[in-house]
Amino acid sequence: MKEIQRISPVEFKTSPLKTEKRNNWEVVMEYSGEGGGPYLVDLSHKPRFDLQDAGLAARKPFGIGIPETFGSSVLENGILVNRMNRTQVSLYCLTGQDNTGLPDEPGFTDVTESTIFIALIGKEVFSICEKLTALDFMNPERKTPFLYQGPFSHVPCQIVTLSRDKETSGILLTCSRGYGRDMIHAVLHAGEEFSLKPAGENRFTSWIKNL
């Protein structure tokens, strides 16, 4: 039987220098002309799940305790757990988890192929974000990592701020797959004055190791 070819909804007009075949995805590890940052990285191949349960307090997805406060996140063992509301949690597998399958437990939905998933990293990240949303990523009352659910370039999104340190600033963003082309165009256009460039997964891996 022919294997299913998984195709990212994100497309950059830049030539890949290095790619890997992984879990039926073609993953770009490095692009030509990445420059010195900031960077926009396609992570749409990374497994992502929603968990819905009225009794979230008793659940530990992938062995990780769920934050009690809505909008709080926790990053453990390469998995980011985001508390959305009373009954719902989103989970992003960020490092070493590309073959993670749907957990054999009730309440999980695999949303990997129905959404886009991108990282925006570099010291000018929040200047770029200011052009696309009114969400306050610099709110001192929010401790990183934290989740916002709101509009970004007029699109309903989940946005997680992982770092606000000047040199390692970065956010993760996910939204419906159908917005992929317009979202990428909007972000790259907003980042032109800051020399925002597409980058491969190697750039993201190096960045997250420094958090």
Residues 86 and 56 in one domain: yes
81 strand-pairing partners? 74, 91
Of the candidate ranges 52-56, 146-150, 207-211, the one whose mean pLDDT is the lowest: 207-211
Residues 40 and 134 in one domain: yes
Residues 64 and 151 in one domain: no
The pLDDT of residue 167 is 83
In a domain, 101, yes or no: yes
Largest CA distance in the chain: 54
Tally of domains within the chain: 2
In a domain, 7, yes or no: no
The pLDDT of residue 97 is 65
Q: State pLDDT tens for residues 85-137.
A: 999 999 999 987 677 888 899 999 999 999 999 999 999 999 999 999 999 99
Determine the structural domain holding residue 59 and report its residue range. 48-110
Check whether 194 has a pLDDT greater than 80: yes
The pLDDT of residue 211 is 83
The pLDDT of residue 2 is 63
DSSP single-letter state for residue 68: S
Residues 165 and 64 in one domain: no
Q: State pLDDT tens for residues 135-191.
A: 999 999 999 999 999 999 999 999 999 999 988 999 999 999 999 999 999 999 999
Q: State pLDDT tens for residues 57-71.
A: 999 999 999 999 999
